[in-house]
Amino acid sequence: MKLKHLLVLPVFTAMGCQPVQPGSYDSYEDYPVVEGQWEEMLYAPASTRFSLWAPTAEEVNLKLYADGQGGEPLRVLSMEAAEDGLWRVRADGDWKGRFYTFDVKVDGVWLGDTPGVWAKAVGVNGDRAAIIDLDDTDPEGWGQDTRPELNSFADIVIYEMHHRDFSIDSLSGVARRGKYLALAEEGTRSAQGQKTGIDHLKELGVTHVHILPSFDYSSVDETRLDQPQYNWGYDPKNYNAPEGSYSTDPYAPDVRIREFKQMVMALHKAGIRVVMDVVYNHTAVTEGSNFERTVPGYFYRQTPEGGFANASGCGNETASERAMMRKFMVESVKYWVNEYHIDGFRFDLMGIHDLATMRAIREELDKIDPTIYVYGEGWAAGAPQLPADSLAMKNNIGLLARIAAFSDEFRDSLRGPFGNDAQGAFLAGYAGHEAGIRFGIAGGVEHPQVNAGAGHQVPKFWALEPTQFISYVSCHDDLCLADRLKATLPDASPAVRKALHKLAETAVLTSQGVPFIFAGDELMRDKQGVHNSYNSPDEINAIRWELKKQNRDVFDYVRALIELRKAHPAFRLGDANLVREHLEFLSAEDDNVVAFRLNGQPAGDTWTDITVILNARDKATAVSLPEGDWQVVCRDGRIDPVQGLGTVAGGEVRVGARSAMILHR
Ligand code: CA
């Protein structure tokens, strides 16, 4: 490990605190740690205080600027070493509306301007931090904003969306297309008269909107928003300020903050919670990142050879196990909750983070509000530089109470394997994936019948509770569902693909795990076969709202599935023991059929005996049910959980090709 030297004489801090003896550190574990709040800028009309944690610095300058870009500094102030590796300075006078950067000298080299690691407001492209009073950014009514009620994680239905995908279509009827404010616009209609925007979300009935990265990321140039640009945003620059390209004015630091809050408030008013996609596992650049320009090496893991480790596949991997990186993540999520009223977090490549950090995050969020939901990708892009048993990987989810992970097993059993877009599975009519479907239906918890049949076996029941299991068939990554069905069944008719689309959504929304829908799948949106569309143009990524009219039956089907799930607690038992006791898989004679019964009684469901049959065959199947009068609510691609679709007697029940049947008595 590289040694860091400090050759500065003892100094007294500007605040008149204890004398400080900066030292040299043999390892990152020896670096001092900031106690209490980690603030880099505290504004007051009389003076603004700045502090930067830079324990290996020899000198630190603060530069004050008139604007967010360009021009010479108005002033350069030399900061003074203080306690805990901090450097401090005070700028007298009222600096509101101005901008600042730090410049840190380490080993004789000035590292270059950085807004610091904790900038809460930034100018265009996030190159300079801004001096603002956060209270000025609260929209009217913000003080009364409250989270929509949530009794249990089991009640959650997640909708994953990108701001631009969701509203950029010129037929969306939205005025602020591609912006935060698109989600605050009521009454929007497509050119065909269908509800769009937030009205669409209300109509669909989802409980949570998961917004793709909306912190300040680097790939979209905020100075040329008049030109077409697109990125998912998994390239973090400033973790604690909103992205500028989704605001109506990326130059005005307060605007993106205020508009983000307006979006959250509007969604809350609509009864919808907001999940942020967070990407603490890597930064967009390594050399030149805010971390590297502040405390070189510290925030990232190194390989044994001393280079930057790269489990993210993006050039670096952060070091959550180090005290100040852990503190950074914990305080950052708390900040988004407290300042922006965020209701949940989705951790990108969560498997890069260590278990202790994820536990600390859960613990701190619980202190604020235990209904805040946390889930993540339980994997990494490469092997992280920590022992496997200490990482927040899917197989360690049992060690992370009340944190969930995506189930790639359920996804792949439905649509086919990651890495081979043309290979199908259950939906494409291939036998042998029944165990993976049962695993998904049971929400990933140990269940005696999941591995009972022939074919592939599920290797590990990794969820201790079904609320730790995200059920999905597609997300922003890879092909979306419509494209995957096209790729795996190139000769199938549109009607067949539509039937399978509905069947897939039925599996996801009748799973005991937490259902997750990729925005636009409810309209059978496609991405023209592009699987890694992270920087594809709008033509690929935008939801085309004319689809809502065109595929209205798919939308109504998904909407009704959500309605069914909300009305019937048997589909969301929320407890592993209840799932084991009250979810029973029925034997099916044919391959490619999964059938199960739910006892609704213990959950207080008005439907005491529910049967769901998923038939992915290209022909009908028959399943034996007990004799009796069964009310059919879903059959042959139609669903009506309220009025029902008639009755059948028990005995042999026939289920049409590529369709689901749901009945109760
Ligand atoms: Ca940006």
| Ligand 1 centroid from CA 131, angstroms | 18
Q: Distance, CA 536 to ligand 1 centroid (Å)? A: 17
Q: Which of 348, 421, 521, 605 is catalytic?
A: 348
Q: What is the pLDDT at residue 9? A: 31
Domain presence at residue 101: yes
DSSP per-residue string spanning 429-443: T-TT-HHHHHHHHTT
264, 258 contact by CB (below 8 A): no
Euclidean distance between CA atoms 8 and 163, whole angstroms? 48
91: containing domain:
3-113
CA of 223 to the centre of ligand 1 (A): 10
- The radius of gyration of the chain from alpha carbons, rounded to an integer in Å, stands at 26
Give the CATH number, domain containing residue 45.
2.60.40.10
Distances (CA, A) of 311 to 174, 176, 391: 39, 37, 12
Instruction: DSSP for 351-363, please give it.
Output: GGSBHHHHHHHHH
Please report whether residue 163 resides in a domain: no
Work out the angle between the directed axes of helices 552-567 and 494-509 (0-180°, nearest 10): 20
DSSP per residue, 37-70: ---SEE--SSEEEEEEE-TT-SEEEEEEESSSSS
User: Ligand 1 mean position to 125 CA, how many Å?
Assistant: 5
Strand order in the sheet with 80-81: 41-42, 47-53, 86-92, 80-81
Please identify, among 54, 83, 113, the residue that sits at the C-terminal boundary of a domain.
Answer: 113
| 380 belongs to a structural domain | no
Q: CA-CA distance, 289 to 307, in Å (whole number)?
A: 16
Catalytic residue among 103, 377, 465, 526: 377
Please report where in the chains the tokens 């990987």 appear, as a residue: 393
Say which CATH number the domain at 623 has: 2.60.40.1180
Distance, CA 240 to ligand 1 centroid (Å)?
12
Q: For the chain, which residues score pLDDT lower than 70? A: 1-23
CA distance 516 to 346: 12
Distance of alpha carbon 323 from alpha carbon 145, whole angstroms: 34
Residue carrying structure tokens 């307006």 = 262
CB 633 within 8 A of CB 639: yes
Q: Are 125 and 82 in contact, with CB atoms under 8 Å apart?
A: no
- From 113, 140, 167, give the residue that closes a domain: 113
Which of 53, 86, 113 terminates a domain? The answer is 113
pLDDT of residue 454: 74
Please tell me the predicted confidence (pLDDT) of residue 453. Answer: 79
- Contacts of residue 59, defined as CB under 8 A and 6 or more positions apart, other chains included, come to 78, 79, 104, 105
Instruction: Please tell me the distance from the alpha carbon of residue 101 to that of residue 238, in angstroms, as a whole number.
Output: 13
Is 526 catalytic? The answer is: no
Burial of 263 (0-12, 13-18, 19+ CB in 10 A): buried
Indicate whether 374 belongs to any domain: no
**Residue 471: which residues within 8 A CB-CB, separation 6 or more?**
407, 410, 440, 443, 507, 508, 511, 513, 514, 515, 516
* Strands annotated E in 69-120: 75-78, 80-81, 86-92, 99-106, 109-110
Q: Take residue 216 and report the two structure tokens written for it.
A: 């300040």
User: What is the total count of domains within the chain?
Assistant: 2
| 377 belongs to the catalytic site | yes
Residue 583 lies in a domain: yes
Pairing of strands 638-639, 621-635: antiparallel
Question: Within a domain: residue 469?
Answer: no
Q: Is residue 8 part of a domain?
A: yes
The answer to whether position 179 is within a domain reads no
Give a three-class secondary structure readout of 234-258.
Answer: CCEEEEEEECCCCCCCCCCHHHHHH
The span from the CA of 537 to the CA of 522, in Å, is: 21
Spacing, Cα 267 to ligand 1 middle (Å)? 23
The 8-class DSSP code of residue 184 comes to G
What pLDDT score does 1 carry?
27
**Residue in the structure block whose two tokens are 């969020």:** 365
Residue 264 alpha carbon to ligand 1 centre in Å: 19
